[in-house]
Amino acid sequence: MVTTRAQPADADALEPSPLPHLRSDRLRSWLLYGLKSNSGSHPGPHAETVEKTHSWWRVMCLTGVDYFSTLGYQPAIAAVAAGLLSPMATIVLVLLTLLGALPVYRRVARESFRGEGSIAMLERLLPWWGGKLFVLVLLGFAATDFMITITLSAADATAHAVENPFAPAWFDGAEVPLTLGLVALLGIVFLKGFKEAINIAVVLVAVFLALNAVVIVVSIGHVFDNPVVVTDWWAALTAQHGNPFVMVGIALIVFPKLALGLSGFETGVAVMPQITGAPGDTAANPVGRIRGAKRLLLTAALIMSTFLITSSIVTTLLIPQEQFQAGGEANGRALAYLAHEFLGDIFGTAYDISTICILWFAGASAMAGLLNIVPRYLPRYGMAPQWAAAVRPLVLVFTAIAFLITILFDANVDAQGGAYATGVLVLITSASIAVTLSALHKKQRRRTVGFAAIAAVFVYTTIVNVIERPDGVRIAAVFIVGIIVVSLISRVQRSFQLRATSVTLDAQARDFVESDADDYGAIRIISHEPNTGSADEYRKKLSEERRDSGIPGRAPVLFLEVYPADSSNFEEDLQVGGVIRHGFRILQVKSGNIPNTLATILLEIRDVTGVVPEIYFEWTEGNPISNMFRYLITGTGEVAPVTREVLRRAEASRSRRPDVHVS
């Protein structure tokens, strides 16, 4: 058995020039450094392949730089969205977190433990082109989630800096330039090469949560010292909404506006490869890693739920409602407002610095997620330019997009909340649908009903959020359209490339080609589309090819048959088997694309035997244009000319290129 990795002949052209003499060559060399990196192997918290793993609680801090950092702005956004009902709406959100999102993602952790998240589950459950298009749509929402994480976090970090009493006077009114500076700094870090910094994440999360706990405990003490704030709040609430049942009903309606508090779950499963497993873990069933991920999700959810409820209560009771509005001192920074109010400007400044650091690092986590999710899916689909496998061009693209979003939203935290919530909710909704389909497929009736109910709640939440704040869908639509357009163009441009990541000849197939090469010095292959598989079918095909193509009467031949598979796949591992049927020697392979597969196998046979093979076709019937469209969609169509073109592009040397005969 022989296994080799198929590489295009022009692969060397993709490598940085070793001796660049022109400025453009140096720039290209720098940009495309690391182009051959495997999908999902880029550095960062979301990397699929890591050199060192960590305890689940340390990895939880990687989740925390995204999840826990929302405390910097979540209480203020909740107050703007729900007003005096913020605590009740937050309790509804916490119930949905613990009874909905948590069970869903514990299941995702069990079934998608390589860091690919719920998108990979749907990819497996929805094959062919429909599944690919659905994944592209989800990637658009994932891009929205990660991009808005970068811009919203940077904007809120700027808000904390501007409102600090020790900040320079020129900070006021310079929110957009300051936010752009933070985004640019993030891009520079990744252009230089972001290294995994789990120790930094642990310190940032520990300090940030400790400072938040101090602020909340002190604030609760002020509530006990001044119980009148509770009676004033309740009086204002009843005046606005009437009896408690009406309040509960309204809280159920408005809680989707608080969906930012669900942001950490997709990140939680994305960092699973970082978790140290048990000694008995296997690649197919890492029980210890899965158990650690479930502990991570549960602990993070409990910690965040506690902070969400307590922060919502103290900020609603102790901060005047007008301070939450645009221009107010608590806008986007409610807990920071309390920190300065009750603990002084020195402590408040320490809280601001901690918040700025963790929000900036949340942007770094999001950028790392983008750098891993794009190469993990699009190049494998053949739906990305080749440069999309390199880190630096993607960093420049994502940084430019972040600049544009920041300018369009004027670095406003509230304005971006809807878009962020939309991205988060769509991903969680897709995850709940994925686990529902998984339970249904495995005939787990009770779990199917339970997950379906959770999915229905998230669908409702997503729809309400989209209706009330359509900005998220608009941004996601831009990403989705951009991804689909680029994907289709890339798929067409790369249609004549070798697609196989590896080719394996079994013992019988190897014996067939080596015996012909050793005994006759020639390997003649007839491309055959299998039909009934009868002896007459093979005899007729062989007779026609000997007559029309001039194959010598006693020259041995091999039949090569490609059996159809998922034509939407771009990269494949080809398994070539040899069989003898009715006395005829046949090479069989399963693939979603015929011409590229034939070309790859011909080159593999050449490399294995040292003899350049020849292949014989008959012309395809039908309109050439319609056949070309069939090729692009189904992988069939104009087989002979496309096979020849793939070979021509893959092998520049005419003497080493397999011959294609058509009759």
For β-strands 524-527 and 614-617, DSSP reports them as: parallel
Residue 28: which pLDDT band, with cuts at 50, 70 and 90?
low
Q: Which of 37-41, 361-365, 463-467, 648-652 has the lowest mean pLDDT?
A: 37-41
Residue 17: which pLDDT band, with cuts at 50, 70 and 90?
very low
Is-contact 406 147, C-beta < 8 A?
no
Please compute the mean of the pLDDT values over residues 164-189 and round it to a whole number.
87
Residue 637: which pLDDT band, with cuts at 50, 70 and 90?
low
Longest Cα separation, the chain: 104
**What letter represents residue 300's amino acid?**
A
Q: Whole-angstrom Cα distance, residue 279 to residue 492?
A: 46
- Kindly report, residue by residue over 436-452, the tens digit of the pLDDT: 988 998 889 999 999 99
Is pLDDT of 160 > 50? yes
H helices of 271-390, where?
A: 287-318, 334-377
**What letter represents residue 331's amino acid?**
N
Is pLDDT of 306 > 80? yes
Is pLDDT of 60 > 70? yes
- Kindly report, residue by residue over 80-119, the tens digit of the pLDDT: 878 888 888 888 888 888 998 999 999 999 888 877 777 7
Residue position matching structure tokens 């990979």: 120
Is-contact 302 69, C-beta < 8 A?
no
The per-residue pLDDT of the chain, averaged, comes to: 81
3-state secondary structure of 559: strand
Task: Return the structure tokens found at 636.
Answer: 């069939």
Is-contact 354 207, C-beta < 8 A?
yes
First to last CA, the chain: 33
Is pLDDT of 20 > 80? no
- Kindly report, residue by residue over 395-407, the tens digit of the pLDDT: 888 899 899 989 9
Q: Whole-angstrom Cα distance, residue 400 to residue 402?
A: 5
Residue 490: which pLDDT band, with cuts at 50, 70 and 90?
confident
- Kindly report, residue by residue over 183-199, the tens digit of the pLDDT: 998 888 777 765 656 78
Measured from the Cβ of residue 553, the count of other Cβ atoms closer than 10 Å reads 5
